[in-house]
Structure formats: structure tokens, C-alpha cells
């Protein structure tokens, strides 16, 4: 965590994070213009933030976009918070709220986490019901081949749909599937209003993509959840779930136990 604290110690880097929190997925040119900072300075600060895993770069053709990654902040607050002075805890709590609770204006989420495991073990953790039930509270029914359906089982509710399918499946490297359907059974289980269900049902289906890359003795996991439309009710419902879910996954693979009382907001409307 030394790199994270070093990165956050600089006011200019905090401004960059604030800018990405306000509008995620910006290019270097956009960040320079929005913050009135020299291109070279912004590049150097972004390099520090990327090294600390607070910013995730994503290439779109020839353009490099930058996404705020809340996972390291979530890891500090969930796993090591008791080691720090009370005043620092207050600062971290404020930053965690700023990074995770403020609605983002972009239409996709990109989160990155480094986990001390193997690509094979991480793939198993993403697909094996014995794993997913422990850190996610969800079990999946799927052959995990392109085109195969993905049925979700969460809190006694089964969600299946013909359009709920695997889009990409490259074992130990990349997995992508469409997000689940808000079924009447799911809506009833979570006491969702008819108005909210109708709004979610009218939205285009989003998708989630897991990219697995070995990095020395660790594995870099990048989660991209996209396909949302402006003002998406589904995006609003899941926006706080991914950072905690990734932290719980990391804890399970590295320590044998998920985080206590994991938040399952990545599967549930708020």
C-alpha cells in the first residue's frame, strides 16, 4: 500500500482522480485541458497513479483512455484499516465515499486488481459455483463456451434467459458474458417496484468482461462492465458492488477466506 499512499499524497494527482471521478475514461488530451496542466506533468502523474493501480489505462483503437480504479482504496478500508491512525482513517473514508458513492457520468466501469494467485485458479474462482458462492453469493450454471447460456442463482432465485449468454471464453485469459435479466422472481425477492422493473426491462443488456494477465507471481484482473445507456437504472443499482466484490475475491484467493459479510450489490439493485 506504500505506492497508494505516495500517489495520494500529491495534490495534483488527487485532482486527476477527482477529474476521472467526475468523468471517467478521459484521454491525456482531455485531462490536460480540464485541469490546465502541462501534458508532461499529467503524463508523469498518470504514470504514478497507474503504478499504484489507482488508474487503469484502456486502449480504444489508437487512443489511450484512463479509468479511475477504486479497488486499492476499498482494499485499504476493508483489510488494513485498523493499522492506521484514526485521522487517516477519516481521510480514507472520505476518499472511499468520493470514489465509490458519487455517480459516474460515463457508461462503463473499469476496475483492476492484482491478486497473488495463478490464472488457472482465478478462472476457477470466476466460474466454479463452489468459489462464486463464497465471495459473491451467486452460483452460475453454464458450460462456459461461446454462445452457452448463463443461469444465475442468488438467494434462492434462479435467473435464466435465452439472451443471457457467454460472449467470449478463452480459459485463463478472458471471459465475457451478458448481464442477468431482472426476472419477476428476482424483483419480488428484493421488493422492487413495478416502475423500477419496467425501467430496467427497457434498457439494453449490459455485459461484463474479465481479462486475466499474469504479472510475475501475481495475476492482474481487469473487470470491464459496459453497455449501459445514459441514466441507466441498472448501472445505478450495481455501481458500488464491484470494488467490494473484487476485494472479497482477492481475500478468498490469498487468505482462504472472503471478506466478512460480503456486499452483493454487484448483483442487486440498490
pLDDT of 76 higher than 70: no
pLDDT in tens, 210-239: 999 999 889 999 999 999 888 888 887 777
CATH code for the domain in which residue 239 is found: 3.30.530.20
pLDDT in tens, 83-97: 444 444 444 444 454
**Domain count of the fold of the chain:** 2
pLDDT of 245 higher than 80: yes
pLDDT at position 44, please?
92
Lowest mean pLDDT among 69-73, 75-79, 123-127: 75-79
Is 270 a domain residue? no
Regarding whether 116 and 240 lie in a shared domain, the answer is yes
Regarding whether 84 and 19 lie in a shared domain, the answer is yes
pLDDT at position 244, please?
81
Regarding whether 84 and 163 lie in a shared domain, the answer is no
Q: How confident is the model at residue 136 (pLDDT cuts 50, 70, 90)?
A: very high
Regarding whether 117 and 85 lie in a shared domain, the answer is no
Residues 6+ apart with CB under 8 A from 236: 103, 270
Regarding whether 74 and 45 lie in a shared domain, the answer is yes
pLDDT at position 270, please?
40
* 29 class by beta-carbon count within 10 Å (0-12 exposed, 13-18 middle, 19+ buried): exposed
Q: Which of 65, 100, 135 is the last residue of a domain?
A: 100
Q: Give the residue numbers spanning the domain of 93.
A: 2-100
Q: Which of 100, 124, 143 is the last residue of a domain?
A: 100
CATH code for the domain in which residue 76 is found: 1.10.10.10
Regarding whether 203 and 116 lie in a shared domain, the answer is yes
Regarding whether 246 and 212 lie in a shared domain, the answer is yes
Lowest mean pLDDT among 6-10, 72-76, 256-260: 72-76
Regarding whether 216 and 186 lie in a shared domain, the answer is yes
Q: Match 471521478 to its residue by C-alpha cell.
A: 21
Distance of CA 157 to the CA centre of its chain: 23
Is 125 a domain residue? yes
Contact 206, 229 (CB under 8 A): no
Q: Which of 38, 67, 100 is the last residue of a domain?
A: 100
Regarding whether 208 and 124 lie in a shared domain, the answer is yes
Amino acid at each position: 500500500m506504500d505506492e497508494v499512499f505516495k500517489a495520494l499524497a500529491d495534490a495534483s494527482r488527487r485532482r486527476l482522480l477527482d477529474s476521472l471521478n467526475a468523468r471517467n475514461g478521459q484521454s491525456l488530451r482531455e485531462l490536460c485541458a480540464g485541469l490546465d496542466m502541462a501534458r508532461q506533468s499529467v503524463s508523469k502523474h498518470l504514470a504514478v497513479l497507474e503504478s499504484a493501480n489507482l488508474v487503469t489505462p484502456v486502449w480504444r483503437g489508437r487512443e489511450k483512455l484512463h479509468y479511475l480504479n477504486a479497488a486499492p482504496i476499498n482494499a485499504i478500508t476493508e483489510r488494513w484499516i485498523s493499522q492506521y491512525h484514526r485521522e487517516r482513517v477519516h481521510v480514507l473514508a472520505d476518499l472511499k465515499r468520493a470514489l465509490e458513492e458519487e455517480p459516474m457520468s460515463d457508461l462503463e466501469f473499469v476496475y483492476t486488481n492484482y491478486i497473488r494467485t495463478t490464472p488457472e485458479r482465478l478462472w476457477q474462482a470466476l466460474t466454479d459455483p463452489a468459489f462464486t458462492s463464497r465471495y459473491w453469493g451467486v452460483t452460475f450454471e453454464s458450460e462456459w463456451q461461446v454462445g452457452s447460456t448463463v443461469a444465475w442463482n442468488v438467494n434462492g432465485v434462479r435467473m435464466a434467459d435465452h439472451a443471457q449468454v457467454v460472449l467470449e471464453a478463452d480459459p485463463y485469459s478472458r471471459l465475457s458474458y451478458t448481464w442477468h435479466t431482472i426476472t419477476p422472481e428476482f424483483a419480488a425477492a428484493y421488493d422492487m417496484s413495478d416502475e423500477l422493473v419496467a425501467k430496467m426491462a427497457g434498457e439494453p443488456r449490459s455485459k461484463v468482461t474479465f481479462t486475466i494477465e499474469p504479472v510475475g507471481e501475481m495475476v492482474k484482473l481487469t473487470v470491464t462492465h459496459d453497455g449501459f445507456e445514459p441514466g441507466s437504472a441498472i448501472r445505478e443499482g450495481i455501481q458500488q458492488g464491484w470494488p467490494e466484490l473484487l476485494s472479497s475475491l482477492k481475500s478468498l484467493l490469498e487468505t482462504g477466506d472472503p471478506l466478512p459479510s460480503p456486499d452483493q450489490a454487484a448483483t442487486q439493485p440498490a
